[in-house]
Structure 1
Amino acid sequence: MKIKLIFFITLSFLLIQCSPNDEIEQKIDPTAYWGDNPWPEIRKKRINTLLPNALKEANVDAWLVICRENNNDPLADHVGGENAGGTAAFLFYNDKSDSFHSIVFSPSGESTALDELDIHENVVPVERGKSAIEQAVSFIKAQNFNKIAINSSKSNSTADGLTYTQRTELENFLGNDKEKLVSSTEVVYNWLSIKLPEEVEILTKAAELTAQFQIEAYQQVVSGVSTDAEIAKFLKQKMAEYGVKDGWAPAQNPNVNSGPDRGHSHATDKVIMPGDVIQIDFGIKLYDRWVSDIQRFAYVLKEGETEAPKDIQFYWESGKAGSRAALAAMKPGIKGVDVDRAQRVLMEQAKSEYVMWSTGHPVGYVAHDVGPNLGGSQASHVRPASQKELKEGMTFAFDGFHAWKLSDGTEKTISVEEMAVVTKNGARYLTKPQEELILIKSK
């Protein structure tokens, strides 16, 4: 994978160096770097190297995930339960000697295939007519665990997969020991927020490809003719050509907007005109697993202009400065709210209009992933996730903002959104950041 990735990044870097309005003739052949889906091996490594520590940090003895067919737990495919038919119980725990174990109580008709995947230390077949939950509870009682995490959470939907009936059955079998059940919120947070180096490589692929597609999309713009929706359609075609999926809800990906702010939205039939600042907010999903989230901005030159007007250029530079300040603030041990504050100071100095959005958010398995929220420094209340500390291996999409009033009283925001990974000593971009506004000549 590393050799293919080096080839991909090198070629992408050369393409991005082209003038924004030059024709890109050289294309990347997807078959040159796509390859087999690496998720099975990455999943196994995540379970055995990251989950033991996640249990410790959450201060629990064990984590129980109950899987089933059709209405499965959101984390089923993270633990190997995506093919569950009958109810199966997945148990992860650290023993008293600090050794990590995983055991699954699986219906006998599915246990052989699950065991052959070699994800778990032990797969126990459950006879037809018997309860996997009851057998899991018998094992739990024998281990005398004090705290057992289950997927029931008020703050994290990913950790809230246990249904009412499943919990009722679990508590009935536990009896008085049901008092030992705690939410898996912290387990899931500590586990999913960290990405393996192999995953960072894949996210780098996604970021590079996302940025390249947006540059190509801007080359399609004909002022006075092209619409936002047509440019969005071009990006959809690029996704189909490369065999990737949407980074979030297909109806709102990409969001191409040459008019006033619309928030999270779909592209409209607005015609792109000279003097417009165009925003593309776009994300793709690789291997049906890892997603990107990047924005690129362009300015449509008016007749006689060779560069953006001073006010537009100032707005761009202000937003870019905020983005750079946010990146500089990212390092292990820093709270998410402090990353937000780093760029808000610059927004105040540049007299930006208020922007309600957080500076950034975790990105990885979904566009708004599990991890610290980079926001809250100017809100009336601070999200709990904003008080979380950044750690090495966390990946983020983050913005630098500048918002201003348009002549009709509406607002426009430049949000310089990039992707980065937190390293031991700071943070680094996953793709070359946008340094200058892309300039589109009027036709």
Structure 2
Amino acid sequence: MKNALVILISFFFAFSCQNQIDEEKQVEKIDNPFTGKNPWPEIRKKRINQLLPEAMDRAEIDAWMVICRENNNDPMALHIGGENAGGTSFYVFYKSDDKVQSIVFCSFGEVTALKELGLHDSIVSISRGQDVFKLATDFVKELNSGKIAVNMSSSNSTADGLSHSQYQKLAESFGTEWEEKLVSAEELVYEWLSIKLPEEIEIMRKAAEITGKWELEAYETIIPGKTNDAEVAEFLNEKIKAYGYEDGWNPEQNPNVNSGPDRGHSHATEKVIMPGDVIQTDFGIKVYGIWVTDIQRFAYVLKEGEEKAPEDIQRYWDVAKRGHRLVFENMKPGISGYELDKAQREWMKENGSLPVPWSTGHPVGYVAHDVGPSLGGGQEGITPSKAALKPLREGMVFAYDGFYAWKIKGGEKTISVEEMVVVTENGAEYLTAPQEELILIGNEIK
């Protein structure tokens, strides 16, 4: 009888625990906006139909050829429907009657799936033994195109998917009289990927809200004198796993939680968080396997007897925040990233900040450092890059910082108020509420 009672109690305990787990999972499902059908296929189709023609016009490109293949694919494959390529396939986009048409030359085993994708106007099946390079180049020759863009670039890795051997064979197939028409797709890729559709911005807005919210929750776990940077990072890693998301960048360095001197882009260490520390958390998530975020949150750990941050730390925060808002107030279509970066560096210098080597900001979207204008170039002793001199356009999304750097024991410390914004018709708009106050963490060491 006693054994039976023990078994019965164990059963009800296990049943109760399972119910609690199921309830927690249910709460997570309700709280997760990214559990439904992946919207990328429809958004990708709209991007090709709506944004690619405009991009080809601005880049003055008549035809674009992308070569996709298995295991070492072109960085643009996901954007054109070539992510599942097996044998070598050609994706050709070309102007026709003020529209952009597309044709794919691929192995016979891929035809059915590509047709069902419904992304391209024509699919041409290649039999074994046929030369796909000759078929594709012959087709483009018949178009009598002007500039033919191919994915080779010395400054934009996303537009640099063409291998050396592929280029050699492509040039051979075209012949010397056509080779001079081959130009870099750098401008085309820039013009196309730098603009995000309203639907994409809404997805990134929700993801940004989650990113910032989790960073605040992570700070609530800190016990000064006990918790280390890596444990705060692990809290955020567990959040990503629980919700089925991915890291915004390399998992080894996401998130970067740092309560000591600057470490640049790096991993969180086992450095114990102590009173008087300023903590930086740089964190991003990827949702639907496509869109990423990049947001930072800063906190100060109160010392014994303190109820607020010391005057110097508070001033550093205020100057960094004001530098960030200065950029926000001037961000609008037509202005260059260089102008924005320069304005903030002048503000930093006026207020006694050490110079920082990093640009004020960067595009963010499909990767953390996405294609688009650089908000940089104002650093002393450097020449602004071509991307820094490009004008901002409506629909571009940026993650950018407000800086203040000073000397601390062991090196320097930088507050880099990083938020995500979208450029609108008249200015800019935050994707999630920006951090207004320095987060304060209690000083008890138990």
TM over 0.5: yes
Deviations 1:265-314 (A, max 9, x none): 11111110001000000011111111000000000001111100111000
User: 1:52–1:93: 8 Å Cα contact kept in structure 2?
Assistant: no
Alpha-carbon offset, residue 99 of structure 1 = 2.1
Q: Which residue of 2 aligns with 1:402?
A: 404
Distance 1:91 1:198 in 2: 26
Alpha-carbon offset, residue 170 of structure 1 = 1.1
Secondary structure of the structure 2 residue equivalent to 1:50: helix
**Aligned partner letter, 1:234:** F
Distance 1:31 1:299 in 2: 30
Bigger mean CA deviation after superposition, 144-153 or 374-383: 374-383
**Aligned partner letter, 2:104:** V
TM-score calculated relative to the size of structure 1: 0.92
**Aligned partner letter, 2:387:** A
**Aligned partner letter, 2:215:** Q
Q: Which residue of 1 aligns with 2:9?
A: none
Distance 1:217 1:122 in 2: 50
User: 2:34–2:287: 8 Å Cα contact kept in structure 1?
Assistant: no
Overall identity of the aligned pairs, in %: 61
Deviations 1:16-68 (A, max 9, x none): xxxxxxxxxx9773455521111111111111111111111111111000111
**Aligned partner letter, 2:297:** R
Q: Which residue of 2 aligns with 1:266?
A: 267
Deviations 1:129-155 (A, max 9, x none): 112221111111111111100001111
Q: Which residue of 2 aligns with 1:138?
A: 138
Distance 1:261 1:222 in 2: 22
Alpha-carbon offset, residue 184 of structure 1 = 0.3
Alpha-carbon offset, residue 125 of structure 1 = 1.4
Distance 1:225 1:409 in 2: 21
Distance 2:99 2:414 in 1: 51
Alpha-carbon offset, residue 409 of structure 1 = 5.8
Aligned 1:54-73 pairs, distance under 5 A = 54-73=55-74
Q: Which residue of 2 aligns with 1:347?
A: 348
Distance 1:351 1:85 in 2: 57
User: 1:329–1:338: 8 Å Cα contact kept in structure 2?
Assistant: no
**Does the alignment pair 1:285 with 2:289?**
no
Deviations 1:397-441 (A, max 9, x none): 0000001111x3621000000000000000000000000011000
Alpha-carbon offset, residue 253 of structure 1 = 0.5
Deviations 1:230-249 (A, max 9, x none): 10111101111111111111
Q: Which residue of 2 aligns with 1:127?
A: 127
**Aligned partner letter, 1:135:** L
Q: Which residue of 1 aligns with 2:395?
A: 393
Q: Which residue of 2 aligns with 1:111?
A: 111
Alpha-carbon offset, residue 378 of structure 1 = 2.5
**Does the alignment pair 1:52 with 2:53?**
yes
Q: Which residue of 1 aligns with 2:325?
A: 324
User: 1:133–1:170: 8 Å Cα contact kept in structure 2?
Assistant: yes
Distance 2:46 2:336 in 1: 28
**Aligned partner letter, 1:98:** D
Secondary structure of the structure 1 residue equivalent to 2:153: coil
Secondary structure of the structure 1 residue equivalent to 2:221: coil
Q: Which residue of 2 aligns with 1:422?
A: 423
Alpha-carbon offset, residue 220 of structure 1 = 0.2
Q: Which residue of 2 aligns with 1:222?
A: 223
Distance 1:146 1:313 in 2: 59
Q: Which residue of 1 aligns with 2:235?
A: 234
**Aligned partner letter, 2:346:** V
User: 2:363–2:372: 8 Å Cα contact kept in structure 1?
Assistant: yes
Alpha-carbon offset, residue 342 of structure 1 = 2.2
Alpha-carbon offset, residue 70 of structure 1 = 1.2
Distance 1:33 1:188 in 2: 27
Q: Which residue of 2 aligns with 1:75?
A: 76
Secondary structure of the structure 2 residue equivalent to 1:55: helix
Secondary structure of the structure 2 residue equivalent to 1:40: helix
* Residue ranges of structure 1 left out of the alignment (5+ in a row): 1-25
Distance 1:203 1:194 in 2: 13
Alpha-carbon offset, residue 364 of structure 1 = 0.4
Aligned 1:11-90 pairs, distance under 5 A = 29-31=30-32, 33-90=34-91
Bigger mean CA deviation after superposition, 103-112 or 359-368: 103-112
Q: Which residue of 2 aligns with 1:22?
A: none
Alpha-carbon offset, residue 215 of structure 1 = 0.3
Distance 1:373 1:118 in 2: 35
Q: Which residue of 2 aligns with 1:166?
A: 166
User: 2:337–2:391: 8 Å Cα contact kept in structure 1?
Assistant: yes
Distance 1:125 1:30 in 2: 45
User: 2:300–2:441: 8 Å Cα contact kept in structure 1?
Assistant: yes
**Aligned partner letter, 1:401:** F
Distance 1:364 1:147 in 2: 28
**Aligned partner letter, 1:411:** E
Secondary structure of the structure 2 residue equivalent to 1:172: helix
Q: Which residue of 1 aligns with 2:386?
A: 384
Aligned 1:192-211 pairs, distance under 5 A = 192-211=193-212
User: 2:261–2:410: 8 Å Cα contact kept in structure 1?
Assistant: no
Bigger mean CA deviation after superposition, 373-382 or 277-286: 373-382
Distance 2:86 2:439 in 1: 51
User: 2:34–2:288: 8 Å Cα contact kept in structure 1?
Assistant: no
Spell out structure 1 runs of 4+ moving beyond 4 A. 30-33
Distance 1:300 1:49 in 2: 49
TM-score calculated relative to the size of structure 2: 0.91
For the structure 1 residues 208 and 31, does the alpha-carbon distance in structure 2 shift closer, same or farther, using more than 3 Å as the test? closer
